[in-house]
Amino acid sequence: MHFSIPSTQEFGSDGSGSSFTGFNIHINGSFHCCLRYKQLHSLHEQLKRSLPSIALPSFPPKKLLSLTPNQIEQRRLSLERYIQLVGQDPVLCRSELLRAFLLNAQQESSFTESSEVSLDVYLMNGYRIVANVYTTDCTSKVLEKACALIELSKERVGYFALYLMRKEASGVLTIVKRLMDFEAPYISQKRWDECKLVLRTGYWDACYDLELMRDRIALNLLYIQALSDVDRGWIVTTRDLSEQLTNLQARGNKTEYLEIVRKLPLYGCLQFPRASVDYPEPNTVATVVLGNKELNLLTFDGKEMQEIKFKVTRIRCWRVTPIHINDEHSSMEPQTSQQSKISLELSFEYLMAKNQLKWITIYSEQSMLMSVCLQSIVDELLNQKNGSDPIHLQSVQHVEYTPLSYIRRDGSNHGITDSSSTDTLCNLVNNDISSNNGTSNQPSSQHTTTNGSSFIRRKLKEFNTTVRFKNGKDSVHNEAFEWIGDDDL
């Protein structure tokens, strides 16, 4: 997980005149929650008790007196480094404790009360699944409920994932983000009004298709996804092959259709909008494609498509950096889509030849998602190397913990009993503390679930686009990196 704390906000406390600082936490490039120092300290103490064998990074020390603006800034930087190091630890970032903590924090920060709602989940062909979920259900629970409605067996649910996808004005389909288990899809989707929840495969290696093709429902899902990807040009075919696939589609021969498509170079990949790259020449325009253990750059010379391949196992490390941030607008005012444009760059160090490393940079607003996908590919490669079950790659690690608890911003303690919908806060909206004005936040019509949707949406959009990524380490190191030896030349 990529953590950052780009900014803070001041909160007033129940009309007493005192105030406290909230730290705006971003995960994988977008706002997730706003937390107090003592809430993060509570997380640290629970991690320390529950995982005594893990060496936690040091937590920023407490201060007895009120902090000056300079001290608040130093605390922000210290907390940012702490949470980044936690997110880079493979055990900590998949712990049940951290998942439950972040899920509750998202609920508290979005002023969302736990209630049952209908949520639309779409297949790649536009088919809509209407699932009855709780507003605070985590991603895996929503995925399970959606898959149950199409009668997909529980054993195969783990091969799929939920994505937020948006259809651009040009008709192009863009993947905005992959939803993780520390977030509630209902809450996350509210921040992206124009996006739909879409069900797609969640793995990268096409060899896992063979297991799914033995199941009728899973085979249909693979077939629908393949048809969509071919139709959108995500999978490139020749004219003759396109005619053959059209004939197989007309006859309803799904298995043979998939057997042909699976052999094509871009099958199972995610495609990103065209971006500027500095390879092979500066200001080269290319389509970025991730999958098949590769990062590909597709460039066009006239009508001819050229493909530049970078093997993931030869990427030594990578980093995401902002190259433009718009801070001119108040955090309390919604930003327009034009104002919210943020330029990011993904840079990776690639082993071109023996003892020859070169940094290559992609300038794209989706750099953060590319980084998340790269990490997912690396995790899958390591799982394969270790002989682990691929469908549990992104799963939460359940360990016998002491009872968990979540401290709200107002100081009240909420016990977390299990991983069900009951592990999230109840009646949160009525107990939340007002921000920025020092007045108490008594129950009112604007904070109820029936009348407060516009208020919640505005509050979430305040942080929708401010992205700063700076790792606790200088870059993300690739544990699947393979050095080229004499035998490889």
Within a 10 A sphere around the Cβ of 136, how many other Cβ atoms?
25
**Crossing angle of helices 96-109 and 37-50, rounded to 10°:** 160
> Could you give the CA distance from residue 471 to residue 352 in angstroms, rounded to a whole number?
25
Residue found under tokens 């700063």: 468
Q: What is the pLDDT of residue 122?
A: 96
Backbone angles phi, psi at 85, to 5 degrees: -65, -35
Spatial contact of 421 and 134, defined as CB atoms under 8 Å apart: yes
Q: What is the pLDDT of residue 198?
A: 96
> Could you give the CA distance from residue 456 to residue 106 in angstroms, rounded to a whole number?
12
Report how far apart, in Å, the C-alpha atoms of 223 and of each of 104, 127, 329, 348, 374 are: 37, 13, 46, 34, 25
Percent of the chain with pLDDT over 90: 55
Structure tokens at 228: 């969509």
> 329 or 375: which carries more pLDDT confidence?
375
Q: What is the pLDDT of residue 355?
A: 86
> 221 or 479: which carries more pLDDT confidence?
221
Integer-rounded Cα Rg, in Å, for the chain is 23
Within a 10 A sphere around the Cβ of 151, how many other Cβ atoms?
8
Least confident of 195-204, 361-370, 423-432: 423-432
Spatial contact of 148 and 171, defined as CB atoms under 8 Å apart: no
Q: What is the pLDDT of residue 389?
A: 64
Q: What is the pLDDT of residue 391?
A: 57
Q: What is the pLDDT of residue 441?
A: 35
Structure tokens at 248: 């197989």
Least confident of 30-39, 224-233, 433-442: 433-442
324 has pLDDT over 50: no
Q: Provide the pLDDT confidence category of residue 275 given band limits of 50, 70 and 90.
A: very high
For 152-161, what is each residue's pLDDT tens digit? Answer: 999 999 999 9
452 has pLDDT over 70: no
Report how far apart, in Å, the C-alpha atoms of 26 and of each of 3, 31, 171, 420, 476 are: 6, 4, 29, 25, 17
Spatial contact of 108 and 409, defined as CB atoms under 8 Å apart: yes
Q: What is the pLDDT of residue 54?
A: 87
Q: What is the pLDDT of residue 398?
A: 45
Backbone angles phi, psi at 9, to 5 degrees: -145, 150
489 has pLDDT over 80: no
281-289 long-range contacts, CB within 8 A, separation 24+:
288/362, 288/364, 288/370
Q: What is the pLDDT of residue 450?
A: 35
Q: What is the pLDDT of residue 394?
A: 45
Q: What is the pLDDT of residue 402?
A: 56
455 has pLDDT over 50: no
For 346-365, what is each residue's pLDDT tens digit? Answer: 999 999 998 899 999 999 98
Q: Provide the pLDDT confidence category of residue 16 given band limits of 50, 70 and 90.
A: low
191 has pLDDT over 70: yes
Taking residues 244-266, report their average pLDDT. 94
DSSP 8-state symbol, 177? E
Q: How far apart are the first and last CA of the chain?
A: 35
186 has pLDDT over 50: yes
Report how far apart, in Å, the C-alpha atoms of 329 and of each of 23, 323, 357, 451, 481 are: 18, 18, 41, 27, 42
Q: What is the pLDDT of residue 5?
A: 92
79 has pLDDT over 90: yes
Taking residues 415-442, report their average pLDDT. 44
Q: What is the pLDDT of residue 463?
A: 39
Q: What are the helix (H) ranges across 150-291?
A: 154-157, 185-190, 209-212, 216-231, 239-251, 254-261
Structure tokens at 322: 């902002």
> 220 or 96: which carries more pLDDT confidence?
220
For 110-130, what is each residue's pLDDT tens digit? Answer: 999 999 999 999 999 999 999
Q: Average pLDDT of the chain?
A: 81
Structure tokens at 247: 């004939």
67 has pLDDT over 90: no
DSSP conformation letters of 384-436:
HHHT--GGGTT--B---PSPEEEE-TTS-EEEE-SSSGGGS-SSHHHHPPPBS
Q: Provide the pLDDT confidence category of residue 425 given band limits of 50, 70 and 90.
A: low
Q: What is the pLDDT of residue 305?
A: 80
> Could you give the CA distance from residue 284 to residue 366 in angstroms, rounded to a whole number?
17
Where do the domains of the chain lie, and which CATH numbers do they carry? 3-110+395-415 (3.30.1520.10), 270-323+343-387+469-488 (2.30.29.30)
Least confident of 12-16, 132-136, 162-166, 267-271: 12-16
Spatial contact of 436 and 331, defined as CB atoms under 8 Å apart: no
Q: Provide the pLDDT confidence category of residue 170 given band limits of 50, 70 and 90.
A: confident
Helix (H) / strand (E) containing 287: strand 284-291
Least confident of 70-74, 223-227, 252-256, 417-421: 417-421
Taking residues 251-264, report their average pLDDT. 94
133 has pLDDT over 90: yes
Q: What is the pLDDT of residue 303?
A: 72
277 has pLDDT over 90: yes
The pTM (predicted TM-score) of the whole model is 0.82
Spatial contact of 457 and 190, defined as CB atoms under 8 Å apart: yes
Q: What is the pLDDT of residue 390?
A: 57
Least confident of 27-41, 273-287, 386-400: 386-400
> Could you give the CA distance from residue 306 to residue 298 in angstroms, rounded to a whole number?
6
Structure tokens at 332: 């309390």
Entry field: residues in the chain: 489
